[in-house]
Amino acid sequence: MQRQILDELAAIVGHDGLISAAEQLRTYECDGLTNFRVMPAAVVLPRTGEQVQHVVRICHRERIPFVARGSGTGLSGGALPVPGSIVISLARLNRILAVDIPNQRVVVEPGVINLHVTQHVAPYGYFYAPDPSSQSVCTIGGNVAENSGGAHCLKYGFTVNHVLGLKVVLPNGELVELGGAVLDQPGYDLAGVFVGSEGTLGIATEITLRIVKRPATVQTLLAAFNSTDEAGAAVSAIITAGILPAAIEMMDRLSRDAAEGAVQAGYPEADALLLVELDGPAAEVALLMERVKAICAECGAWEQRLAQSEAERAVVWKGRKAAFAAMGRISPDYIVQDGVIPRTALPRVLREIEQLSAAAGLRVANVFHAGDGNLHPLVLYDRSISGQEHVAEQLAFNILKLCVQAGGSITGEHGVGREKQQFMSQMFAEPDLDTMQLVRCAFDPQHIANPDKVFPRPRLCAEKPGRYEPHPLETAGIAELF
Amino acid sequence: MELSMIDHIQTLQSELGGIVGAEYVQPATSADMVDGVQPQLVVSPGSGDEVARVLRLANAAGLAIAPRGGGTKLGWGNRPERLDLVVSTRRLNEVLEHAWSDMTATVQAGCTVSAFQHQLAQHGQHLVLDPLWLDAATIGGILATNDSGALRVRFGTLRDLILGITVALPDGTLAKSGGKVVKNVAGYDLPKLMTGALGTLGIIVDATFRLYPLPAETTILRVAPASIQSANDLMVRVLDSTLVPTGLQCHVAVNQAPEVWIRFEGMRAALEAQLEQLRQICEATSISQTLTTHDLWPGLRRMWQRSQATLICKTSVLPSDIAAMVKAVERVARPLRLDWELVAQAVGVGSLRLHGANDQALLAALTIIRAEITTLGGTVVVLDAPLGVKQQIDVWGPTKAPALMRRVKDHFDPQHMLNPGRFVGF
């Protein structure tokens, strides 16, 4: 990167806010998707929204791509740098700016850790509902980019349902307000579009969140089944009975064993475990839990344990939340996949995953948000065995294909990022992708905000407003864009 | 009309007929006017593909288009700058799929809300939304206007319920976005972009929603606080409690005491416990309450009836500012001798009806009320007004990020053929 630009950046963020030495840049070469690595040209760590805006203005002027980054816990490569880019870390914008309990609003900067919001409002009896498993380290800004979910989004919704407004630095350096603390603002719902846009439409520098009153009662049931088929049937039966649990999570045998090994939760020795959490007014929860237990028993549950204390509840959840990391105990390497299927397809798709797993000769552990059909198959492999990583990647992608064929989605909460760009074409036709591109071009005509993510190939914004037009070199067959 | 113009229209009519069938292209009548602007033709496509082809043809011919469902909210938005063609979704009225065990459904844009709900009810489910004029309002229409009702206190609005959409664009593209599963983050969220866009980006062809079970039982409590401040305090208090109402709103009118209305849904035994908790809250603040079977929300529909010298607005403030808003309305209405009536959902969104002797009084009142509510950080959007008033105002009021919104519009509808002039500055 040119010395003059580095000097300009340093003038904005200070010398302690600029990283350009190769060994220090290495920290930023990947996010949670560690098999993709690209060195950025520089990293800046602004402290204010104005500094973010000044940095983006330089990017715009010089047409330098930029990649926003929170804690770097994303699993789809959303914060993976692109060559020659400036990574804009929002880690230092970590202030909670305002708390308005009567109106259930909190205003935060993007670098605030998800769990800190809940901790901040807990004394008033509130919590911030989206709870990705990484909530103790991931940032709200990152959650906004990915539209993060979590175990409890079955009942409470995703990040987008909890973001009321944003201050956003657009890729041209303009600062805009989208939505706000007051509901139903006139005009397009650009806040709704911005959430989940994976850093491709700009950088949020201030976010107005909705917080939720903690329910009167929470009850957590652990039910043991002989097969994922039976547990899957119980999930469908619970939901179609008109019960909306706060969470329904499933672990298969492999996940159960790994999680048990990691946290000694005392899980029953079962081939499928279901964790059902109900919350709400005490009388309602008590009545509904009786029905849930009856449904589980009908579907073949041979042991059901209702957590008797907050401590017991915490242990049950600890195992579930530790399940991904616990795979390290039973496999040297693993791929975390994220796909969605209609709930009713659960038993069938799980069987098909089993067949794929057997055919590939690799184990697949399943631990997932069963209530909303959001699968997280973990493909276990050993990188040191030649060719096995490739087989594992192939298997992970074949599982995604199953999800699409079942009428589902290639991602429920981890995002498309770099990892699944090519898979967008499995789910969407060209006209669908072209239409999304119209939004992109309205926000970022120069294509500098996290370019080469989400969409299957770099798409250019044509001179006249509208469609993708192939570059003359492309048309002439001289260059191919992938 | 000049002869060449008549020729032109006849040519268009026959070309449109070639797409949708001649019987589905009709000359427009005065009943098809939008705010007094007379279109030439009404076309009723029979499929999403036909909608896309009609749009492409109309775009190429430079026609101004108004999409129309049941026509119940056709007056919402500014007066059209011009209008040639009404595209009616009346033939797109099928429920395409009710995956009841997955609790999702896909429905065409022209299906009425009540027909949709009727079909969903066969499996004990519903679209958990109570918008206006269910029997005539269509899915496309409630989406385009982002209409909502009392249920939003518990279940949110269409943006929280919509999962996927198919939309036809002016250039003839037919595009899908979102999906049919309840969780999906692949690609941009165009269902949210289209919700509330007043048909200015494309014509919604079908949509997929997440569904909820119909409640087993409903119970409603009506309470009579002494003042609007006390009504507002009570609502904030209920929101701050562990109670889970499916409706919480207040109704207040000129020379009438305010009333708060709280609805719970669920199983009988659980409802009793919630009611008891609510009674304790009321008694602690000495507010009298009565159980009722009278559902206030549908009972208030008369508020939206059009009549002379009447203005109907959608207001939005923070939940704790409802009383301040009402006081502002009172302050403005009294000297101007206006009748007024307001229903506000506890989340801060309300509907205000103002009735006066003449347009001038309404215009004056609107200007001051909007200024006062803007000071509170809120918004006032005029939904219905006499034409004389409408022509002198921007019904939307100030908007955020207007330049960005215009850029979005320019990309989707470069020629501004969809509802020109009716939305926020375009």
β-pairing, B85-88 vs B41-43, is: parallel
* Cross-chain CB nearest to A186 (options B273, B403, B424): B424
Q: B124 and B35 share a domain?
A: no
Distance CA A420, CA A435 (A): 19
**Is residue A434 less than 8 Å (CB to CB) from chain B?**
yes
* Chain B hits for A197, Cβ within 8 Å: 188
Task: Select from A103, A96, A105 the least CA-distant residue to A211.
Answer: A105
Q: B221 and B208 share a domain?
A: no
Residue B253: CATH number of its domain:
3.30.70.260
Q: B114 and B197 share a domain?
A: yes
Contact B273 A178 (CB under 8 A): no
Asked if residue B145 has pLDDT above 90, the reply is yes
B341–chain A nearest CA distance, Å: 21
* Cross-chain CB nearest to B240 (options A185, A213, A407): A213
**Is residue A186 less than 8 Å (CB to CB) from chain B?**
yes
Question: Which residues, listed in sequence order, are joined to residue A365 by a DSSP beta bridge?
Answer: A378
Q: A474 falls in which pLDDT band (50, 70, 90)?
A: very low
pLDDT at A206: 98
Q: A1 falls in which pLDDT band (50, 70, 90)?
A: confident
pLDDT at B136: 96
Residue of A nearest to B174 (CA): A431
Q: Average pLDDT of B168-173?
A: 97
* Chain A hits for B195, Cβ within 8 Å: 189, 192
Q: Average pLDDT of A144-159?
A: 93
What is the CA angle A97-B401-B421, rounded to 5?
150
Q: A480 falls in which pLDDT band (50, 70, 90)?
A: very low
Distance CA A232, CA A354 (A): 14
Q: Is residue B253 assigned to a domain?
A: yes
Q: B317 and B357 share a domain?
A: yes
Check: CB of residue B81 under 8 Å from CB of residue B64.
yes
* Chain A hits for B179, Cβ within 8 Å: 340, 407-409, 427
* Cross-chain CB nearest to B193 (options A340, A439, A440): A439
Contact A409 B171 (CB under 8 A): no
Residue range B237-257, pLDDT digits in tens: 999 999 999 999 999 999 999
Asked if residue A379 has pLDDT above 90, the reply is yes
Q: Is residue B398 assigned to a domain?
A: no
Instruction: Please name the residues in contact with A23: beta carbons below 8 A apart, sequence gap of 6 or more.
Output: none
| Residue A338, CA distances (Å) to A261, A317, A320, B103 in order | 24, 20, 16, 21
Task: Select from B287, B246, B266 the least CA-distant residue to B151.
Answer: B246
Describe chain A by its helix, strand, coil percentages, rounded to 5: 40, 20, 40
Check: CB of residue B204 under 8 Å from CB of residue B418.
no
A227–chain B nearest CA distance, Å: 21
Q: Average pLDDT of B258-287?
A: 88
Q: What is the dihedral of CA A182, A184, A190, A196, to 10 degrees?
A: 80
For A:358-397, CB contacts with B below 8 A are: 369, 372-374
* Chain B hits for A414, Cβ within 8 Å: 185
Q: A466 falls in which pLDDT band (50, 70, 90)?
A: very low
Q: Is residue B364 assigned to a domain?
A: yes
**Is residue A469 less than 8 Å (CB to CB) from chain B?**
no
Residue B7: CATH number of its domain:
3.30.43.10
Q: B274 and B227 share a domain?
A: yes
Out of A338-352, B25-39, B276-290, B408-422, pick the least confident. B276-290
Q: A462 falls in which pLDDT band (50, 70, 90)?
A: low
* Chain B hits for A185, Cβ within 8 Å: 316, 379, 399-400
Q: B202 and B250 share a domain?
A: no
Residue range A325-365, pLDDT digits in tens: 888 888 999 998 999 999 889 999 999 999 999 999 999 99
Three-class SS of residue A308? coil
Region of residue A99 (phi > 0: left; psi between -120 and 50: alpha; otherwise: beta)? beta
Check: CB of residue A58 under 8 Å from CB of residue A32.
no
Q: Between B228-239 and B322-336, two packed helices, what is the crossing angle to 10 degrees?
A: 160
Region of residue B214 (phi > 0: left; psi between -120 and 50: alpha; otherwise: beta)? beta
Q: Which residue has the tokens 């992938």?
A: A482
Higher pLDDT, A126 or B286: A126
Q: B221 and B285 share a domain?
A: yes
Contact B196 A184 (CB under 8 A): yes
Distance CA A390, CA A463 (A): 41
Within 13 A of A180's CA, how many CA atoms are on the CB side? 20
Q: Average pLDDT of B16-42?
A: 96
Sheet arrangement for strand A66-69 = A18-19, A42-44, A86-89, A66-69
* Chain A hits for B322, Cβ within 8 Å: none
ipTM for the complex?
A: 0.96
| Residue A224, CA distances (Å) to A210, A293, A305 in order | 36, 11, 9
Q: B377 and B273 share a domain?
A: no
* Chain B hits for A183, Cβ within 8 Å: 157, 316, 347-349
Domain end residue (candidates: B259, B292, B325): B292
Out of A50-54, A152-156, A447-451, B5-9, pick the least confident. B5-9
Contact B266 A239 (CB under 8 A): no
Residue of B nearest to A104 (CA): B240
Task: Select from A48, A49, A207, A210 the least CA-distant residue to A140.
Answer: A207
DSSP-assigned letters across all residues of B230-248: HHHHHHHHHHTSS---SEE
Domain end residue (candidates: B173, B192, B213): B213
Distance CA A353, CA B188 (A): 28
Residue range B146-160, pLDDT digits in tens: 999 999 999 999 999
**Is residue B331 less than 8 Å (CB to CB) from chain A?**
no
Residue range A176-199, pLDDT digits in tens: 999 999 999 999 999 999 999 999
β-pairing, B247-253 vs B174-178, is: unpaired
Residue B188: CATH number of its domain:
3.30.465.10
Between A and B, how many residue pairs show a Cβ–Cβ distance under 8 A? 267
Within 13 A of B398's CA, how many CA atoms are on the CB side? 11
Secondary element (H or E) of residue A219:
strand A217-225
* Chain B hits for A239, Cβ within 8 Å: 103
Tokens of B383: 């939904």
Contact B196 A372 (CB under 8 A): no
Task: Please tell me the pTM assigned to this model.
Answer: 0.95
Q: Is residue B405 assigned to a domain?
A: no
Secondary element (H or E) of residue B114:
helix B113-121
A241–chain B nearest CA distance, Å: 8
Sign of CA dihedral A436, A439, A445, A449: negative
Instruction: Please name the residues in contact with B371: beta carbons below 8 A apart, sequence gap of 6 or more.
Output: none
Domain end residue (candidates: B158, B185, B213): B213
Distance CA A24, CA B17 (A): 67
Specify burial of residue B23 (Cβ count, 10 A radius: 0-12, 13-18, 19+): exposed
A52–chain B nearest CA distance, Å: 18
- Residue spans of beta strands (DSSP E) within B183-332: 203-210, 212-213, 217-224, 247-253, 259-266, 288-292, 310-316
Distance CA A55, CA A103 (A): 34
CB atoms under 10 Å from CB of B62, counted, come to 9
pLDDT at B134: 93
**Is residue A284 less than 8 Å (CB to CB) from chain B?**
yes
Distance CA A415, CA A76 (A): 6
β-pairing, A96-100 vs A105-108, is: antiparallel
Residues of the domain holding B178 = 95-213
Distance CA A78, CA B129 (A): 35
Contact A342 B180 (CB under 8 A): yes
Check: CB of residue A154 under 8 Å from CB of residue A246.
yes
Out of A382-391, A470-479, B108-117, pick the least confident. A470-479
* Cross-chain CB nearest to A183 (options B99, B195, B347): B347
- Residue spans of beta strands (DSSP E) within A91-199: 96-100, 105-108, 126-127, 163-169, 175-179
Q: Is residue B404 assigned to a domain?
A: no
Instruction: Please report, as a single letter, which amino acid is at residue A360.
Output: A
Distance CA B346, CA B310 (A): 25
Q: Which residue has the tokens 């760009």?
A: A421
pLDDT at A71: 95
**Is residue A244 less than 8 Å (CB to CB) from chain B?**
yes
Task: Select from B299, B315, B316, B310 the least CA-distant residue to B384.
Answer: B310
* Chain A hits for B401, Cβ within 8 Å: 176-178, 187, 190
Check: CB of residue A278 under 8 Å from CB of residue A219.
yes
pLDDT at B319: 98
**What radius of gyration do chain A's Cα atoms show?**
23
Instruction: Please report, as a single letter, which amino acid is at residue B195.
Output: T
B202–chain A nearest CA distance, Å: 11
**Is residue A137 less than 8 Å (CB to CB) from chain B?**
no
Q: Which residue has the tokens 């880690």?
A: A91
What is the CA angle A122-A191-A423, rounded to 5?
100
Give me the percent of chain B exceeding a pLDDT of 70. 99
Give me the percent of chain B exceeding a pLDDT of 90. 84
Q: B2 falls in which pLDDT band (50, 70, 90)?
A: low
Q: Is residue B118 assigned to a domain?
A: yes
* Cross-chain CB nearest to B379 (options A101, A186, A284): A186
Q: B272 and B235 share a domain?
A: yes
Three-class SS of residue B143? helix
Residue B336: CATH number of its domain:
3.30.70.1130
Residue of A nearest to B148 (CA): A184
Q: B40 and B74 share a domain?
A: yes
Contact A432 B399 (CB under 8 A): no
Per-chain mean pLDDT for chain A: 92
Residue range B70-91, pLDDT digits in tens: 999 999 999 999 999 999 999 9
For B:202-221, CB contacts with A below 8 A are: 212-214, 216
Residue of B nearest to A126 (CA): B240
Q: B75 and B177 share a domain?
A: no
Question: Which residues, listed in sequence order, are joined to residue A367 by a DSSP beta bridge?
Answer: A251
Q: How many domains does chain B have?
A: 4
**Is residue B160 less than 8 Å (CB to CB) from chain A?**
yes
Higher pLDDT, B16 or B301: B16
Secondary element (H or E) of residue A350:
helix A346-360
What is the CA angle B216-B222-B227, rounded to 5?
150
pLDDT at B392: 94
Three-class SS of residue B368? helix
Instruction: Please name the residues in contact with A90: beta carbons below 8 A apart, sequence gap of 6 or more.
Output: A46, A52, A68, A69, A70, A109, A110, A111, A139, A141, A203, A205
* Cross-chain CB nearest to B400 (options A170, A177, A467): A177
pLDDT at A77: 94
Give me the percent of chain A exceeding a pLDDT of 70. 95
Q: Average pLDDT of B136-154?
A: 97
pLDDT at A468: 43
Q: Is residue B204 assigned to a domain?
A: yes
Q: Is residue B413 assigned to a domain?
A: no
Q: B20 and B67 share a domain?
A: yes
* Chain A hits for B186, Cβ within 8 Å: 409-411, 416, 420, 424, 427-428
